[in-house]
């Protein structure tokens, strides 16, 4: 097996039994190490199918699969399982969900489906808030009928009651949300020792990527899987833990040796990505954190390109500067995809876009609505699901799309009537006589419901006999194209649908690929944001994790923007974000900081981020008391200069003064203005 690993990486690769924690700093060859280890185990004669590797994203699962398979030169006798946590949960539940008296023809719902369901149950609390509470419950191992440690939550009683209704609805319709894909496997293994033993002996070697991002439930799941052997190898970087707000618990990696006794720890320090200058800066930032394993990244790449900090007076000046720098790089022949613009909050990208447009710089923003979250795609998927499963949830989505007169009330009536008969709505439509159905929804709606069911039956036959033409037949049976054609934004919608169809036909032509497996696969499929050469990419720092660019520009380095300053914000996590952003850069790193910015609809005066000033100056959260201004006093402001105080008022215990700066009147908090 060819390899050019360093000593520490090699040590990690050759560790076989017992818990191993690999602390891999940014750019230290984490993926190389994990994939080499996988190949190493296989080359020792260990059955590949007994090796389980878990990741968080489809993208990294694919990358690891490709890399480890290429190391193995096709010498595999069986396949190692290398997939996301959620995919593992899905595969598990297909085999074992019957233990909970549920069937394995479940449908996976996404976040917006869940919000919609919650809204229908009770709209008196914000559904998104309830949704995140439910996630929190599920991810801390809370069961709908069990105990919990979260009773301090606001509106607790009410949320629990919504939660119980929600769970009942999921069970009745055999739906699973994303959290269930982890929670239910945990519950099953926890309850049934035989299953736990079976799984643990099947997967005798377990690896987990990005371990710093695991939540409590995932850790517990891993413990179950490893209960027979403790052969657990995790890779991660506590300094890159930036998902605490999604339940990720940094303690999982910091206290790893408490969870798994006799852990061997290997630290990868040698960075192969960034220049010394960039690493010095990044090391310097992260060194201020106390919740971390002390470590210091090293690099042999010196290029004498300093880390730049560029200040601007406002966001326009900043946009202009960024666009001209990029334009110059482009003229010098640099590929657009070698550069990236990163920000903490999407809201500040607008002003930059304005100037990129002015300079004709082609760019793309990563983030926003994902392909599979688009309404038109979800509609088509719902049709496919009705064809395959006839589940109520999908049926309700499309029974009136395109409009066929079966409105909300009619659906409600059918739902009640079908529940009485313990049937799916679809089966109720099919099996009821005309007069029975007329009693529920009236003759006119009965006609279109029956017609709908006939069309679905026809498509079911197509799915069996010539599945390749399913999308074509779906189009013509339901005039779906006409429906979207009439909508605004029809061009994009139709293009999305076409893309979906072509993905479907590609998929279906593969080996052993059926409609059910297609539906399961796409349920967990995120968008593959492939970086294309001809575009400059703009993205949040979160979205940049795992990527690298020659030239990285980070904008909005101002207290209150980055770092965000608020009561519930963990400044250490903000610092980790600064660390992640910095370590994306290979050759050149530039920070932009503006003295004012139009933010949340207001022109705001801002001070340079404490990540740049090392915390020497933090007026945004300063305890400075109000100045004792009088009308007529001369005041000095760091940006607006000298002016005369013309009005003083007190609002919410804050002194505000109106100052005349040479004809320009501005109202400012007096704590930000000096008396002269």
Of residues 600-629, those binding DNA (CB under 7 A): 600-601
According to the binding rule CB under 7 A, does residue 295 interact with DNA? no
Clarify whether 584 is annotated catalytic. yes
Would you say 320 or 366 has its CB closer to DNA?
Answer: 366
Print burial letters for 6-31: b (CB count within 10 Å at least 16), e (below 16): eebbbbbbebeeebbbbbbbbbbbbb
Residue 91 found at the interface with DNA (CB under 7 A)? no
Give yes or no: 424 in active site: no
Rg (CA), the chain: 29
Phi and psi at residue 198, to the nearest 5°: -60, -50
At closest approach, how far in Å is the CB of 410 from DNA?
12
Contact call for residue 566 and DNA (CB under 7 A): yes
| Least distance in angstroms from the C-beta of 57 to DNA | 4
Whether residue 628 lies in the annotated active site: no
* Residue 524 is a binding residue for DNA (CB under 7 A): yes
Of positions 1, 100, 443, 569, contacts DNA by CB under 7 A: 569
116 Cβ partners below 8 Å, 6+ apart? Answer: 127
Using CB under 7 A, which of 19, 52, 56, 459 touches DNA?
Answer: 56
Note if 397 is an active site residue. Answer: no
119 binds DNA (CB under 7 A): yes
Instruction: Please tell me whether residue 87 binds DNA under the rule CB under 7 A.
Output: yes
Q: Is 57 a residue that touches DNA (CB under 7 A)?
A: yes
251 binds DNA (CB under 7 A): no
CB of 369 to DNA, least distance (A): 8
Cα–Cα dist 231/457, whole Å? 50
Site size for DNA, by CB under 7 A?
39
Backbone torsions φ then ψ of 290, nearest 5 degrees: -105, -25
Q: Collapse the DSSP code of 463 into the 3-class scheme (helix H, G, I; strand E, B; otherwise coil) and give the result.
A: helix
User: Out of 234, 356, 539, 606, which residue is the one contacting DNA (CB under 7 A)?
Assistant: 539
Q: Is 373 noted as a catalytic residue in this protein?
A: no
186, 224 Cβ separation under 8 angstroms? yes
Of the ranges 44-52, 64-72, 219-227, 596-604, which one interacts with DNA (CB under 7 A)? 596-604
Q: Chain-centre distance of CA 458, in angstroms?
A: 38
Sign of the C-alpha dihedral, residues 248, 251, 255, 258?
negative
Query: Is 210 an active-site residue?
Result: yes
Q: Work out whether strand 641-651 and strand 634-637 pair parallel, antiparallel, or are unpaired.
A: antiparallel
Please identify which residue in 67, 165, 251, 346 interacts with DNA, judged by CB under 7 A: 346
Of 244-252, 429-437, 489-497, 502-510, the segment contacting DNA by CB under 7 A is: 244-252
Residue by residue, DSSP assigns 554-598 as: EE--BTTTSS---TT--HHHHHHHHHHHHTTEEEEEEEEEESEEE
H-helix segments, 332-442: 349-358, 375-389, 392-398, 408-420, 425-431, 434-441
Report the C-alpha gap between 484 and 482 in whole angstroms. Answer: 6
Q: How far is the CB of 352 from DNA (least distance, A)?
A: 14
Q: Per-residue DSSP letters for 103-118?
A: -S--EEE-HHHHHHHH
The residues of the shown chain that bind DNA, judged by CB under 7 A, are 56-59, 84, 86-87, 111, 119, 123, 178, 210, 213, 242-243, 245-246, 248, 344-347, 367, 370, 403, 407, 524, 526, 539-540, 542-543, 564, 566, 568-569, 598, 600-601
Q: Any idea which residues carry the catalytic annotation?
A: 30-31, 209-210, 240, 584
């Amino acid at each position: 097996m060819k390899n050019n690993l360093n000593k520490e990486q090699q040590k990690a690769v050759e560790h076989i039994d017992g818990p191993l924690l690999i602390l891999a700093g940014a750019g230290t060859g984490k993926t190389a190490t994990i994939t080499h280890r996988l190949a190493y185990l296989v080359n020792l004669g260990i059955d590949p199918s007994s090796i389980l590797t878990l990741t968080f994203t489809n993208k990294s699962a694919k990358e690891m699969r490709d890399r480890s398979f290429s190391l193995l030169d096709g010498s595999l006798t069986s396949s190692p399982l290398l997939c996301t946590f959620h995919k593992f949960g899905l595969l598990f539940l297909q085999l074992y969900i019957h233990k909970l008296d549920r069937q394995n023809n479940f449908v996976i719902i996404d976040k917006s489906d869940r919000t919609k369901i919650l809204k229908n149950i009770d709209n008196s609390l914000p559904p998104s808030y309830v949704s995140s509470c439910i996630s929190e419950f599920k991810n801390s191992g809370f069961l709908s009928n069990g105990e919990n440690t979260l009773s301090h939550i606001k509106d607790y009683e009410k949320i629990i009651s919504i939660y119980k209704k929600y769970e009942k609805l999921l069970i009745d319709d055999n739906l699973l949300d994303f959290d269930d894909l982890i929670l239910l496997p945990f519950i099953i293994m926890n309850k049934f020792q035989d299953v736990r033993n079976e799984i643990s002996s099947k997967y005798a070697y377990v690896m987990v990527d990005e371990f710093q991002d695991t939540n409590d439930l995932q850790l517990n799941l891993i413990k179950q899987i490893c209960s027979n052997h403790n052969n657990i190898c995790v890779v991660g970087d506590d300094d890159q833990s930036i998902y605490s707000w999604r339940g990720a618990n940094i303690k999982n990696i910091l206290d790893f040796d408490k969870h798994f006794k006799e852990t061997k720890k290997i630290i990868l320090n040698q960075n192969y990505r960034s220049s010394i200058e960039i690493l010095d800066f990044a090391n310097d930032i992260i060194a201020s954190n106390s919740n971390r394993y002390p470590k210091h990244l090293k690099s042999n790449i010196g290029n004498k390109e300093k880390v730049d900090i560029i200040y601007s007076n406002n966001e326009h000046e900043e946009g202009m500067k960024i666009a001209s720098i990029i334009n110059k790089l482009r003229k010098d022949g640099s590929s657009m995809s070698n550069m990236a613009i990163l920000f903490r909050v999407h809201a500040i990208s607008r002003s930059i876009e304005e100037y990129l447009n002015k300079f004709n710089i082609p760019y793309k923003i990563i983030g926003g609505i994902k392909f599979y979250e688009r309404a038109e795609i979800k509609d088509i998927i719902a049709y496919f699901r009705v064809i395959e499963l006839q589940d109520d949830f999908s049926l309700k989505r499309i029974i009136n799309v395109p409009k066929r007169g079966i409105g909300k009330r009619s659906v409600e009536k059918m739902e009640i009537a079908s529940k009485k008969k313990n049937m799916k709505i679809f089966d109720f439509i099919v099996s009821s006589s005309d007069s029975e159905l007329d009693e529920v929804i009236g003759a006119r709606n009965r006609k279109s419901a029956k017609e709908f069911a006939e069309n679905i039956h026809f498509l079911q036959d197509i799915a069996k006999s010539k599945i390749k033409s399913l999308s074509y037949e779906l189009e013509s049976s339901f005039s779906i194209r006409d429906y979207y054609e009439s909508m605004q934004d029809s061009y994009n919608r139709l293009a999305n649908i076409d893309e979906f169809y072509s993905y479907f036909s590609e998929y279906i032509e593969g080996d052993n690929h059926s409609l059910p497996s297609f539906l399961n696969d796409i349920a967990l499929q995120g968008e593959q944001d492939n970086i294309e050469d001809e575009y400059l990419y703009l993205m949040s720092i979160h979205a940049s994790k795992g990527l690298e660019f020659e030239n990285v520009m980070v904008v909005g380095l101002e207290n209150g923007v980055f770092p965000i300053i608020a009561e519930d914000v963990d400044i250490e996590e903000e610092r980790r974000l600064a660390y992640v952003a910095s370590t994306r850069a290979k050759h050149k790193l530039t920070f932009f900081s503006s003295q004012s910015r139009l933010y949340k609809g207001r022109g705001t005066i801002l001070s340079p981020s404490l990540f740049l000033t090392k915390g020497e100056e933090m007026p945004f959260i300063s305890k400075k008391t109000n100045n004792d201004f009088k009308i007529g006093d001369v005041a000095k402001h760091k940006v607006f200069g000298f002016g005369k105080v013309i009005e003083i008022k007190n609002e919410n215990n804050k002194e505000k003064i109106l100052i005349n700066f040479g004809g320009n009147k501005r109202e400012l908090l007096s704590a930000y203005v000096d008396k002269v």
